[in-house]
């Protein structure tokens, strides 16, 4: 990891841009999410440069929906890929343009569709025949034609964790190619719908662009068939999924991602959309945590930290591995440690058998935690969710405060008479 991701070592100590992480921990406490504005903007610039005049970059909000990050990307002209009405509300609150929003997801509710249609979003990425019928009925009721794309399932295997593979035949996502043709004909014949595009997304944390290229080729073949029938396709949403470095991975560059899908889709007269999420924010953030205790358990030595799986779920959910570093050099000798949290679950483990110089009270950084970290955090075990801090040069901005004990019970009521 280098200064390119917004974090670097100075005299052995880890800094976020021009602020030592030690200072952030002292001011905001731990656990705490820390993001680098410069790193996010650098990644955005690489994607925007790769796209050129070929189309739009829509940030996948599910990766990290913090208002400050959404507002920052909106200022740079980002579009947004959403999967819920709540994410739409976040985008609008952050100043995002609804005309640059695409709405994906297999389970769009009636009220979610109504709100999105009323907001004037760019497109609904439809994922089933039943959804298409629901969308048409709501559009007729609202006297507002709904812009649609069919999300196809290209049946392309993505070499990634099975929980984040979305483009194979058995996946719940998208519509099989053989069914998509009929759905497009149905949509084109429905006065309450407006066919705008075609969409696909095959999975996340991809370390090769070959599956993306294969999916784009299948999408291009379908677009040609539709065009031959007189069904115009104005844009092709090629999804996201580009991997990032968590430990030793070597992910493709944004330019490789864009070229892989742009090549097969060239010459179709359609605007290209890509939807990076993790690739924009993961390496630009980390989770700062403090060692509470060192504990011996048979042949293993545990470093029990104050962050838990409720704060950062990826290791427990996916078995994900992250680089974990000591924030500052100390007097502790390096030893092999299991980094574990305080949650009462055996899955609450951040790393195993890692060589680290750590003692009780020392700060550790869980790297590449800017995506699917704060977004997935919960209050499990009665633990308030951690704060989020954005570093901008020498300035730190608290973009989400630490929750309080009162926040844990907000909205709840005792039974009458209790």
Residues 6+ apart with CB under 8 A from 3: none
How far is Cα 384 from Cα 168, in angstroms, rounded to an integer? 38
Same domain, 291 and 223: no
Mean pLDDT rounded to a whole number for the chain:
94
Same domain, 339 and 246: no
Residue 348: the pLDDT is 97
Same domain, 308 and 212: no
Same domain, 64 and 210: yes
Question: What six digits make up the tokens of 258?
Answer: 């864009």
Domain holding 328: CATH number? 2.40.37.10
Same domain, 317 and 232: no
Unique residue bearing structure tokens 């924030």: 327
Record the pTM.
Answer: 0.94
> Can 58 be counted among the known catalytic residues?
no
Domain range enclosing 154: 37-279
Question: What six digits make up the tokens of 297?
Answer: 């358990």
Angle at 96 between CA 91 and CA 99, to 5 degrees: 105
Return the beta strands (E) in 278-394 as ranges.
285-297, 300-305, 324-326, 334-340, 349-357, 363-366, 388-392
pLDDT of 115 > 90? The answer is: yes
Residue 166: the pLDDT is 45
pLDDT (tens digit per residue) in 25-68: 999 999 999 999 999 999 999 999 999 999 999 999 999 999 99
pLDDT of 2 > 50? The answer is: no
Catalytic residue among 32, 58, 123, 344: 344
Same domain, 292 and 341: yes
256-to-58, 208, 278 alpha-carbon distances in Å: 17, 9, 16
DSSP 39-53: HHHHHHHHHHHHHTT
pLDDT of 230 > 50? The answer is: yes
Region of poorest pLDDT, from 66-70, 141-145, 188-192, 328-332? 328-332
Decide if 348 is inside a domain: yes
The reply to whether 314 sits in an annotated binding site is yes
The reply to whether 278 sits in an annotated binding site is yes
Strand partners, 366: 287, 324
pLDDT (tens digit per residue) in 145-177: 999 999 999 887 655 434 444 444 567 778 998
The reply to whether 318 sits in an annotated binding site is yes
* 3-class secondary-structure state, position 77: coil
Where residue 332 falls among pLDDT bands split at 50, 70, 90? confident
The domain boundary residue, chosen from 260, 279, 298:
279
Unique residue bearing structure tokens 């403090």: 290
- The mean per-residue pLDDT over the stretch 90-115 comes to 98
How far is Cα 78 from Cα 57, in angstroms, rounded to an integer? 6
The reply to whether 12 sits in an annotated binding site is no
Residue 45: the pLDDT is 97
Same domain, 173 and 295: no
The domain boundary residue, chosen from 233, 263, 279:
279
Residue 173: the pLDDT is 78
Same domain, 72 and 212: yes
How far is Cα 218 from Cα 91, in angstroms, rounded to an integer? 32
392 — phi, psi (to 5°)?
-130, 95
What end-to-end distance do the CA atoms of the chain give, in Å?
54
Residue 4: the pLDDT is 62
Same domain, 7 and 68: no
pLDDT (tens digit per residue) in 202-211: 988 899 999 9
Same domain, 56 and 158: yes
Decide if 413 is inside a domain: no
The reply to whether 345 sits in an annotated binding site is yes
Where residue 286 falls among pLDDT bands split at 50, 70, 90? very high
pLDDT of 138 > 70? The answer is: yes
Question: What six digits make up the tokens of 294?
Answer: 């060192």
How far is Cα 321 from Cα 148, in angstroms, rounded to an integer? 38
Domain holding 55: CATH number? 3.20.20.10
């Amino acid at each position: 990891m280098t200064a390119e991701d917004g974090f670097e070592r100075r005299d052995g100590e880890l800094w976020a841009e021009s602020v030592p992480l030690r200072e952030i921990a002292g001011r905001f406490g731990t656990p705490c999410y820390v993001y680098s504005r410069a790193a996010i903007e650098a990644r955005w610039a690489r994607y925007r440069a790769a796209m050129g005049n070929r189309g739009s970059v829509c940030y996948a909000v599910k990766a990290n929906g913090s208002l400050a990050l959404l507002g920052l990307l909106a200022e740079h002209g980002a579009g947004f890929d959403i999967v819920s009405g709540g994410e739409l509300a976040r985008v609008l609150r952050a100043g995002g343009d609804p005309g640059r929003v695409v709405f994906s997801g297999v389970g769009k509710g009636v009220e979610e569709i109504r709100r999105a249609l009323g907001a004037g979003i760019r497109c609904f990425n439809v994922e089933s025949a039943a959804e298409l019928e629901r969308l048409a009925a709501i559009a007729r009721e609202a006297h507002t034609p709904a812009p649609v794309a069919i999300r196809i399932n290209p049946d392309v295997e993505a070499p990634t964790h099975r929980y984040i593979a979305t483009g194979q035949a058995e996946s719940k996502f998208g519509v099989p190619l053989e069914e998509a043709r009929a759905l497009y004909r149905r949509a084109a014949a429905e006065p309450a719908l407006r066919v705008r595009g075609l969409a696909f997304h095959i999975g996340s944390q991809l370390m090769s662009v070959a599956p993306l290229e294969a999916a784009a080729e299948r999408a291009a073949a379908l677009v040609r068939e539709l065009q031959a029938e007189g069904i115009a396709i104005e844009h092709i949403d090629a999804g996201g999924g580009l991997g990032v470095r968590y430990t030793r991975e070597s992910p493709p560059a944004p330019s490789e991602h864009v070229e892989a899908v742009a090549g097969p889709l060239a010459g179709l007269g359609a605007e290209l959309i890509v939807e990076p999420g993790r690739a924009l924010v993961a390496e630009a953030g980390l989770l700062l945590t403090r060692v509470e205790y060192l504990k011996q358990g048979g042949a293993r030595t545990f470093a029990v930290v104050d962050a838990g799986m409720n704060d950062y779920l990826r290791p427990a959910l996916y078995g994900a591995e992250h680089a974990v570093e000591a924030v500052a050099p100390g007097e502790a000798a390096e030893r092999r440690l299991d980094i574990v949290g305080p949650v009462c679950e055996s899955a609450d483990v951040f790393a195993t058998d890692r060589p680290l110089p750590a003692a009780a009270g020392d700060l550790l950084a869980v790297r590449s935690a800017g995506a699917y970290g704060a977004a997935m955090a919960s209050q499990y075990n009665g633990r308030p969710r951690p704060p989020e801090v954005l570093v901008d040069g020498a300035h730190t901005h608290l973009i989400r405060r630490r929750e309080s004990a009162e926040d844990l019970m907000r909205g709840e009521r005792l039974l009458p008479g209790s």
